[in-house]
Structure 1
Amino acid sequence: MKRLYFIEPIVAIYAFASFMIYPLVQQYVYRRLWLEITNSSYPVSDNTSQCAANSSSHSRQQDEVQKAASLFSMYSDLSSMIPSLIVTLLLVAYSDQRGRKITIIMPLIGSLIYTLSFLAVSFFELNIYLLIAASFVSALFGGIGTMLGGCFSYVADLCEDGKQKTLRMAVVDMMIGLLAGVASISTGYFLHAVGFNWPFFTSAIFQAVNLLYAIFILEETRVIDLSETGDCCPAMQKLVCGIYKLFAGGSSQRKWILVLLIVTFSSLSFVNTGGLSMITLYELNEPLCWSEILIGYGAAASTSIFITSFVGVYLFSLCLPNTAIVFIGMLSVATSMFMTAFAKTTLIMFLVRIPAMFAIMPFPVLRSMMSKVVSKSEQGALFACVAFTETLSTNGSSAVFSRIYAATVAWCPGFIFLLGTGLCIIPISLLGILRCFHSMDSNDTQALLSEDGTEASDDPPVA
């Protein structure tokens, strides 16, 4: 069978299968906790808002359900964070010696296990806290950070030109948004028509097909050294050495630029992911009280920003430097979070997606900038570090934002989004420091921060 070098189908199917169940996870947990805490069935209707179904006597119980659901989310994120961090760092860095496919196949196995666990809990009505154990087990295979780290390393292997890397990585992000949007819309109607079991089962089928594609059709981009397949010690030494040389090798300016880029990427990911993780609970709460169909439309509107961000990257790259594109995206994140904090009607809640239309732009641009700093043989070590910090920031932010939301939901549900707006100052400030390097008289830095396709690093490849 002829093998292909197309990573986009894997990303597309993964996004569709994941976002088919992602809006359902918090809704399922929320309804189970509602049943346990209120001893009453969850109000389901075709109305745009379900608040009318809740009497004032339910307001305190609803706050309790909101707190319990946010704490459950925190426990789930914390249980998966540590194993996912370790596996991400090892697998993506290890891909420099053993190929990129392992970083893609392992997370797909973990994702399939997680989905099947949800299906079992839903079908047999098992204890929902088994889902926390499922999160831990699936994290032993890596997570979305591992897979994306492998995918972006795969893209970096195929692209020679710097601008080509930026656009190809932006295409990968766009595929996530496009398919996630389709899945989110269909999931609302799917849930309303047949309940939770069939969406979980359908997602598992897609993930199984995706796993088969990754194993049997996707071609490897890295040449595997067969002489070392039986001896893991030299490979592990190379792994540690590669990560060390990534920061110790080269000029001090290269090192500081790389550190600034990684910290900027991670801090922005912390804010953006933390805010997004609370959107569903915020929409389920008063005064919005959205139905599952509205939540599906809202999730689709949120994921459409991947498409608008891709268009923004393509157009802005024709006339603006990388740092300006990243700055526009950061302002987009901050503005949308500020508006979300004061969204009290369905119309306003949909309108907050408009200022968020460029919120994803910074991520592919920053990845491309980092990729141009290092040599070809360091791509795996680089994206291992990026995936490690991204997993740490995303899981950590979900846990932190969930805990803060549980503490503030009773008196100010929108406080968490105001906090996110304030935290945007950190990546914006780091971007300003990075911009200072652009003003220095350095050919390497000019090449890095401009739009040309040359690599910023003249260092020889690391063996």
Structure 2
Amino acid sequence: MVTPNCGQSVLAVFRHVEPLVVLEQLGTSLFNTALLMVVKARCANTTDPATGTPASREENQQRAMADFYMAYNLIVQLMPIVSALLLARAGDRGWRRAPIVVPLCGYLLSSVSLLLVVILRLPIQVMFGAAVVFGVSGGFCAYWPGVMTMASLSSTTETRSQVMMRVELMYGAAGLLGSVLSGHVFLLYSSRVGHGTVLLSVCTILHFLSLVHATFLLQVQQVANQPDESSQLLPLSSSRVPEETSLTKTKVNVVLLFAAAVIYASSVGGAVEILGIFVIKEPLHWNAAQVGYGNAAGFVIFLTSYLGAVIFRRCMTDAALILIGMLSFACGIYFTSFVTVTYMFYIARSLSLFGLIPMPTMRSLLSQQFPASSWGITLTTLQLALRLAALAYIPAFTRLYQRTLDWYPGFIFMLSSILAVLAMIPISAVGCRLSQQGPSEETAVSTEKRQVEKEN
């Protein structure tokens, strides 16, 4: 009797979304390191030695890498806009696996494309075509809202932030493990095909397994539509709370949450985009193994953010948690602008130990403003807003980094810290508005939510 029960328990665990997140992120962390090192090698090969001193050749390599990543990231951000909306609509109409399965096909094709670039010595520009395919499949813009929707469906209103943070924790733990291993595995090679082939082969296998998991094992919890969901954002039954007033307050909260999310994501995304190529140049001049360790340090923040959210949640509101996370990231990325040696880099990353609390908490607050049958399209809309913002901050951060490269490369991180502080303004407004919410309205909202969840 013990063996069948253990088998059923293991199967039940694998039917949750967390194992899928682990498999996908393990593959993605390997892919990111491999792509960076391949781009570095190709940009070094195309650098003209006649340009002058070694310093100038390194600057040319940095500019070439920045140009590649700017074009690559813009394609990845722009292409999923339509497909992500279509997949989110399909998910809200009952096809919950669609926003997850289709993007995973794009992940698999991207890893196969980079593997072929390495083995067949194809031009690195082939990855632009792979980015187009990845974007058309929905990419991260469709995949992550699909994952968060599945996590939301398996939680209550009171536990939703914690469940989302647990998914982020698994995402970060997998990224930590994959990043630590990626630099060492990248150095393994066959005499016929060279560096990166073993790493990308493992990456392809992991993405294939995640696709199989999402298609055949992932458990889907359906939610029945409520009769009045199409007519209002959040149904209220309290006679003491006017419906129009509550609806107006909800819309203002949504706008403020979107503004804070866009500004903060621009701060984080712009800094992280430059950070990968910043550590390649002097004075840090990291190799593949050090790049893996640096990426792992970033994923440790997922663990510390989860622990911080669990501890602080006992005595703080969601808005206060978000502010702590934003302040933590602002301090860490500001210190990064002065990094000249490796140990200073890790000190800077340690200051950002709560930097990943804001986004899942904001998603949780946002989902609480809408009925369950609209969570997919809501979270996807937020993700699309972040993607549209990326179309502005990616070229802006890239060009600014290139222009400040010769006199102060860390200036870009100062700008990122300023944006993180600015993002605290709308969140502070949301916190004030929620604290001023009348007790009768708050009770009516929570009671109605619990009733909807019980009926579902």
TM-score range, shorter chain: 0.7 to 0.9
Q: Does 1:75 align with 2:105?
A: no
Secondary structure, counterpart of 2:285 in structure 1: coil
Amino acid paired to 1:26: L
Structure 1 counterpart of 2:139, from 143, 151, 158: 143
Amino acid at match of 1:152: M
Range that drifts further, 435-444 or 354-363: 435-444
Within a 5 Å distance, the mapping from 1:12-411 to structure 2 comes to 12-38=22-48, 57-160=53-156, 162-194=157-189, 195-222=195-222, 246=233, 251-394=247-390, 396-411=392-407
Are the equivalent residues in 1 in contact too, given 2:333–2:349 (CA < 8 A)? no
Any stretches of 5+ residues in structure 1 without a counterpart?
Answer: 41-55, 226-240
Q: Find the aligned partners of 1:341 and 1:445 in 2 and give their Cα distance.
A: 46
For 1:38 and 1:349, locate their aligned partners in 2 and report how far apart those are by CA, in whole Å.
31
How far did residue 363 of structure 1 move?
Answer: 1.5
| CA distance in structure 2 between the aligned counterparts of 1:390 and 1:38, rounded to whole angstroms | 37
Residues 321-349 of structure 1, C-alpha deviation per residue, up to 9 Å, x if partnerless? 11111101000111111010000011101
Cα distance in 2 between the residues matched to 1:221 and 1:30: 44
Distance 1:219 1:340 in 2: 42
Tell me, in whole angstroms, the C-alpha distance in 1 between the residues paired with 2:73 and 2:214.
27
Q: Deviations over 1:244-281 (max 9, x none)?
A: 96599961111111121122122211111211121121
In 2, Cα distance between equivalents of 1:363 and 1:413: 27
In structure 1, C-alpha distance between the alignment counterparts of 2:446 and 2:303, rounded to whole Å: 23
Q: Within 1, Cα distance between the matches of 2:101 and 2:419?
A: 35
Q: Is the 8 A contact 1:99 1:223 kept in 2?
A: no
The one-character-per-residue Cα deviations of 1:359-396 (angstroms, maximum 9, x if unpaired) are 00111211111111211222122112122123334565
Residues 385, 130 of structure 1: alpha-carbon distance in 2 compared, 3 angstrom cutoff: same
Matched length: 428
% same residue: 24
Determine the C-alpha separation between the residues in 1 that align with 2:35 and 2:275.
13
Cα distance change, pair 296–245 in 1 and its aligned pair in 2 (3 A)? same
Structure 2: runs of 5 or more not aligned: 1-7, 190-194, 235-242
Query: What SS does the corresponding residue of 1:110 show, helix, strand or coil?
Result: helix
Partner of residue 233, structure 1: none
Deviations 1:229-254 (A, max 9, x none): xxxxxxxxxxxx96x96599961111
Q: How has the CA–CA distance of structure 1 residues 355 and 455 changed in structure 2, closer, same or farther, with 3 Å as cutoff?
A: farther
CA offset digits 1:38-92 (Å, max 9, x no partner): 459xxxxxxxxxxxxxxx9210111111011101111111222222122222212
Question: Deviation string for 1:135-155 (max 9, x for gaps)?
Answer: 011110011121110011111
Tell me the distance in 1 between the aligned counterparts of 2:41 and 2:247. Answer: 55
Q: What are the superposed Cα offsets for residues 153-183 of structure 1, whole Å, 9 maximum, x if unpaired?
A: 11111212x2311111001101111010111
Cα separation, partners in 2 of 1:453 and 1:197, compared to 1, 3 Å: farther
Native 8 Å contact 1:154 1:221 kept in 2? yes
1:102, distance to aligned residue in structure 2 (A): 0.3
2:16 aligned to 6, 18, 25, which one?
6
For 1:445 and 1:113, locate their aligned partners in 2 and report how far apart those are by CA, in whole Å: 49
In the aligned structure 2, how far is the partner of 1:270 from the partner of 1:252?
27
Distance 1:458 1:212, change over 3 A: closer
Relative to structure 1, the CA distance from residue 459 to residue 262 in structure 2 (aligned partners, 3 Å threshold; closer, same or farther) is farther
The answer to whether the 8 Å contact 2:119/2:197 transfers is: yes
Matched residues in 1 for 2:56 and 2:446: separation?
Answer: 58
**Which one scores higher on RCO, CA 8 angstroms, separation ≥ 6?**
1
The DSSP-based 3-state class of the residue aligned with 1:98 is coil
Whether contact under 8 Å (1:77, 1:399) holds in the other structure is no
Which residue identity is paired with 1:30? K
> Structure 1 pair 86/445, CA: closer, same or farther in 2 (3 Å)?
farther
Distance 1:441 1:186, change over 3 A: closer
**Structure 2: distance between partners of 1:33 and 1:454:** 59
3-state DSSP of counterpart to 1:163? coil
Task: Say whether the 8 Å CA contact 2:188–2:198 is kept in structure 1.
Answer: no
Larger mean Cα displacement after TM superposition, 433-442 or 162-171: 433-442
CA positional deviation for 1:419: 0.9
Structure-2 separation of matches of 1:455 and 1:394: 37
CA distance in 1, matches of 2:387, 2:303: 23
Q: Deviation string for 1:100-132 (max 9, x for gaps)? A: 200000110001111111111111111111111
Contact between 1:329 and 1:358, CA under 8 Å: does it hold in 2? Answer: yes
Return the letter of the residue paired with 1:131. M
Q: Distance in 2 between matches of 1:333 and 1:170?
A: 17
Counterpart in the other structure of 2:424: 428
Rounded Cα–Cα distance in structure 2 between residues aligned with 1:390 and 1:444: 35
Instruction: Report if aligned partners of 1:74, 1:400 keep a CA contact under 8 Å in 2.
Output: no
Q: 1:408: how far off?
A: 2.0
Counterpart contact for 2:78–2:391, Cα < 8 Å: no
Inter-partner Cα distance in structure 2 for 1:363 and 1:132? 28
Kindly tell me: are residues 317 and 453 of structure 1, through their superposed partners in 2, closer, same or farther at Cα, counting changes over 3 Å?
A: farther
Q: Which deviates more from structure 2 when the two are superposed, residues 398-407 or residues 173-182?
A: 398-407
Whether contact under 8 Å (2:327, 2:421) holds in the other structure is no
- Once the 2 structures are TM-superposed, how far is the Cα of residue 426 of structure 1 from its aligned partner? 2.4
Give the C-alpha shift of residue 457 in structure 1.
11
User: Taking structure 1 as the reference length, what is the TM-score of the superposition?
Assistant: 0.86
Contact 1:326 1:366 in 2 (8 A): yes
Does the CA-based 8 Å contact 1:374-1:457 persist in structure 2? Answer: no
Q: CA deviation at 1:215?
A: 0.6
